[in-house]
Amino acid sequence: MSFDPPLRFLSVVISAIGLGIFVDGKRQRRWPQLVAGIGLMGYSYFVSSLALMLGIAVAVLGILGLLIRLRW
């Protein structure tokens, strides 16, 4: 695991967004938000590239947005 400051900062920001999505999903009892929130909080521990971390976060949020738009 790298201790590159920008990488750690982005990890904290993405995890905080994931926590917010998770809490919202738990409050609304919606599984897409729960799964996306858990995913955003956890995957950053296993990724050591800034671009890859940002790309995965954008992909997860895009899929979540699509599922919400499709009314899942």
**What pLDDT sits at residue 2?**
61
**What pLDDT sits at residue 68?**
94
In this prediction the pTM is 0.88
Angle between helix 31-42 and helix 5-28 axes, rounded to 10 deg: 160
From first to last of its 72 residues, what are the pLDDT tens digits of the chain? 567 899 999 999 999 999 999 999 999 999 999 999 999 999 988 998 999 999 999 999 999 999 999 988
**What pLDDT sits at residue 3?**
78
Residue written as token pair 């920001």? 13
Q: Which of these, 10, 35, 13, 11, lies nearest to 24 by C-alpha position?
A: 35
Instruction: Round to whole Å and give the CA distance between 11 and 1.
Output: 12
Single-letter residue type at 52: L
**What pLDDT sits at residue 35?**
96
Domain ranges (residues) in the chain: 5-69
